A = this chain, B = another copy of it.
Amino acid sequence: MEGDQAAAAPVLLNCFVSPFGNRARIALRRKGVAFEEKAENLAAKSPLLLSSNPVHGKVPVLIVGGRPVCESLVILEFIDDAFSAAGEPLLPADPYARARARFWASYIDTKMPECAARVWRSPKGAAAVEEGKKDMVAALKTLEAELGAKPYFAGDALGYVDVALVPFAPWFLTYERLGGFSVAAECPALAAWAARCVRENDCVAKSLPEPEHVFQFVCGMRKMFGLE
């Protein structure tokens, strides 16, 4: 439990490596919203997770006042809507700028998990690894072009797109080791952006796992799936 709103604190069902769940961690901390986190074991999901998200049975779920909110981008919008008096909004006020942010968050969700799965859930040496890596690098380059020379996607401060993308950064080491490439070599400005997000924002630094711990987690999963 963080902060002192024990009775009313939202509960986040999460897994420490989940890029999706860690979006919610960052957004809640950025808003200064105290919350309780319950760690889910994805191999043996809790009755609370299954009853809170019967449709998908996936983390993250944010339970507020007993009511579950599911799907990480929906959770980010909810945090912006429900805690609008707390901290800076994640989404800008201008309708076009909001649409642009939502477009890129949707792009991240279309590309990153699917490319990542080909890289880390394929058998060693499979052609899918190389193809997944190639498509991921193309997606990261597209995102780097959108970032341009700005410090953050929305400009001078951490916003919706940053919060949607940065939880994938601790996975870069895993993608690099399994895919045989370097994000920093392919996309130097994006690698610098990821480092900046952590360095300049406590809410990010406190919310992301160590890249090495993600890699160990993935190695365990790969053994379980018989991929090594």
Interface residues of A (CB under 8 A from B): 55, 64, 67, 69-71, 73-75, 77-78, 81-82, 95-96, 98-99, 102-103, 106-107, 142
16 more contacts with CB within 8 A, not counting A74-B103, A75-B99, A81-B95, are A55-B107, A64-B96, A67-B96, A69-B103, A70-B103, A71-B106, A74-B106, A77-B98, A77-B99, A78-B95, A78-B96, A78-B98, A78-B99, A81-B99, A82-B95, A82-B96
Q: Is the CB of A71 within 8 A of B142?
A: no
Minimum C-beta distance from A98 to chain B (A): 6
B-chain residues with CB within 8 Å of residue A73 when the two chains form the complex: 102, 106
Complex CA gap A67/B106 in Å reads 18
Complex Cα distance A108/B55, Å?
Answer: 12
**Inside 8 A of A77's CB, which chain B residues have their CB?**
98-99, 102
Per a CB cutoff under 8 Å, which of B74, B78, B99 touches A69? Answer: B99
> In the complex, which residues of chain B have a beta carbon less than 8 angstroms from the beta carbon of A95?
78, 81-82
Chain B hits for A82, CB < 8 A: 95-96
